[in-house]
Amino acid sequence: MIETRTLNNGLRIVTEDISTVRSMTIGIWIGTGSRYESAEENGISHFLEHMFFKGTKTRTASEIAESFDKIGGHVNAFTSKEYTCFYAKVLDQHAKKALSILADMLFHSEFDEEELEKERQVIIEEIKMVDDTPDDIIHDYLDEASFGNHPLGRPILGTEDTIQKFNRTSLIEHMERFYTPDNIVVSLAGNQTEEVMEHVESLFGELSSRQTDFLIQPPSFLTEKTVQQKETEQAHLCLGFPGIPMDHEDIYALTLLNNALGGSMSSRLFQNIREEKGLAYSVFSYHASFLDSGLLTVYAGSGLEQLDEMFEATMKTIQDVKANGLTVKELENGKEQLKGNIMLGLESTSSRMSRNGKNELVLGHHRPLDEVLQRIEAVSLEDIKRTAKYVFQSDYSLSLISREGKYPAALWQESLL
């Protein structure tokens, strides 16, 4: 059972007791990411995430790492466009210890100037690594083509220029603005006790109550086409289509549509582009949902000499889905696969912690599993066709990386959708 309690300062704690395991996964979720940054601040949320591991008033960076190693635990963090999460998985007997270390990192980090300079270089190297990975950076290019100057169009890591400008003061100011009790969720999943809950409340209940003051602006979906010339062996292509928010009534219809299009090995794109035509090794689609919007992405990588054929085959597959929807078999197979993925995911305390923390932070509610399964089962072929017509509109965004830096010739045909 999922239980949520709100402390007097506004901080929320969501718990799911799983008495059949001997582990505990702890996640601290904060409502900040690249979407909440100005152009000048781009990358500061991710930079701040790194700095929380670089030492507190009582622990050095190496002591933080050693603290988790010696209890056999795992600790990590990530930053997305709309939230940041710090998490640890430990044996249940070490849950209080792990909570204490995470709280120490978040609220007593020193942001030492020497450590800050070292981490600045680490992040710049991370940016360079992504830039040297065309099948990774191509998705950042698509975000920019789809959302332009809106924060959703900017990279989570920031740029070398913005990273060079951050200092201790700017990091602390960002933390004080967004790391407020009303903007934090502590998610626990595993074999827990009331003693652990009391420890959470003692660690987080004393935070002074402050409110975040950032209002997000919804993006407009653009249909820009961008091409980058790089010395690559393959051409890397991304197509972008307008998606839907994460709490939209058609979210399960779009999930099933994406699964049939390019979300699995039996999908149309995989079977057509890879298995039948042999035009690509990697071809897939995925949908990213945000608070008020979304983006459906199709990716394929192919030899430059096959780019035109691959592009046309991809567009014809999308055209067919838009015009005719899915078959009964595709819909039923997709439902079983989606339900299976959800049920199998529930066997992991990490997945449960992540699901609960994200739902509480972003949506503010938790759908019972039975309701989720019912909503999936209720999706009809008409729901799929309606959703496909919304997503696959008259135009799309595109990003391409290739050795020649030229668009596919078929792009200039009158209409591909």
The pLDDT score that the predictor gives to residue 261 is 98
| Residue 180 within any structural domain of the chain | yes
The pLDDT score that the predictor gives to residue 412 is 66
Q: How many CB atoms lie within 10 A of CB 371?
A: 10
Q: How many CB atoms lie within 10 A of CB 132?
A: 10
Whether residue 401 sits in one domain with residue 273: yes
| Residues written for the chain | 417
Whether residue 230 sits in one domain with residue 167: no
Whether residue 179 sits in one domain with residue 252: no
Whether residue 187 sits in one domain with residue 273: no
What is the DSSP secondary structure assignment for residue 221, as one 8-state letter? Answer: P
- Asked whether residue 340 carries a pLDDT value surpassing 60, the answer given is yes
According to DSSP, the residues that pair with 397 across neighbouring strands are 240
Cα separation, 204 vs 206, in Å, equals: 6
Strand, helix or coil for residue 336: helix
Whether residue 254 sits in one domain with residue 196: no
| Residue 196 within any structural domain of the chain | yes
Whether residue 63 sits in one domain with residue 189: yes
Tens-digit pLDDT profile for residues 76-121 = 999 999 999 999 999 999 999 999 999 999 999 999 999 999 999 9
φ/ψ of residue 333, rounded to 5: -60, -40
| Residue 213 within any structural domain of the chain | no
Question: Could you tell me the CATH number of the domain that includes residue 110?
Answer: 3.30.830.10
Out of 174, 204, 234, a domain closes at 204
Tens-digit pLDDT profile for residues 9-60 = 999 999 999 999 999 999 999 999 999 999 999 999 999 999 999 999 999 9
- Confidence grade of residue 214 (pLDDT, cut at 50, 70, 90): confident
Letter string b/e over residues 13-50, b meaning 16 or more CB atoms within 10 A of that residue's CB: bbbbebeeeebbbbbbbbbbbbbbbeeebbbbbbbbbb
Whether residue 293 sits in one domain with residue 161: no
The two tokens of residue 17 are: 């007791």
CA 144 → CA 44, 223, 260, 339, 340, distances in Å?
18, 10, 26, 33, 34
The pLDDT score that the predictor gives to residue 413 is 61
| Residue 219 within any structural domain of the chain | no
Whether residue 198 sits in one domain with residue 244: no
Whether residue 120 sits in one domain with residue 47: yes
- Asked whether residue 414 carries a pLDDT value surpassing 70, the answer given is no
| Residue 117 within any structural domain of the chain | yes
Letter string b/e over residues 384-414, b meaning 16 or more CB atoms within 10 A of that residue's CB: bbebbebbbeeebbbbbbbeeeebbebbeee
What is the DSSP secondary structure assignment for residue 11, as one 8-state letter? Answer: -
pLDDT, the chain, mean: 95
CB 95 within 8 A of CB 84: no
The pLDDT score that the predictor gives to residue 415 is 56
Print the domain residue range for 108. 2-204
| Residue 197 within any structural domain of the chain | yes
Q: Which residues have C-beta within 8 Å of that of residue 7, sequence separation ≥ 6? A: 13, 181, 201, 204, 205
CB 337 within 8 A of CB 345: no
Whether residue 189 sits in one domain with residue 101: yes
| Residue 78 within any structural domain of the chain | yes
Instruction: Output 1-5 pairs: Cβ under 8 A, ≥24 positions apart.
Output: 2/356, 2/366, 4/360, 4/366
Whether residue 100 sits in one domain with residue 7: yes
Catalytic site positions = 49
Cα separation, 154 vs 133, in Å, equals: 17
CB 84 within 8 A of CB 29: yes
Whether residue 383 sits in one domain with residue 248: yes
Cα separation, 57 vs 256, in Å, equals: 49
Domain count, the chain: 2
Question: Which DSSP helix (H) or strand (E) runs through 323?
Answer: helix 307-324
The pLDDT score that the predictor gives to residue 164 is 98
- Confidence grade of residue 416 (pLDDT, cut at 50, 70, 90): low
| Residue 321 within any structural domain of the chain | yes
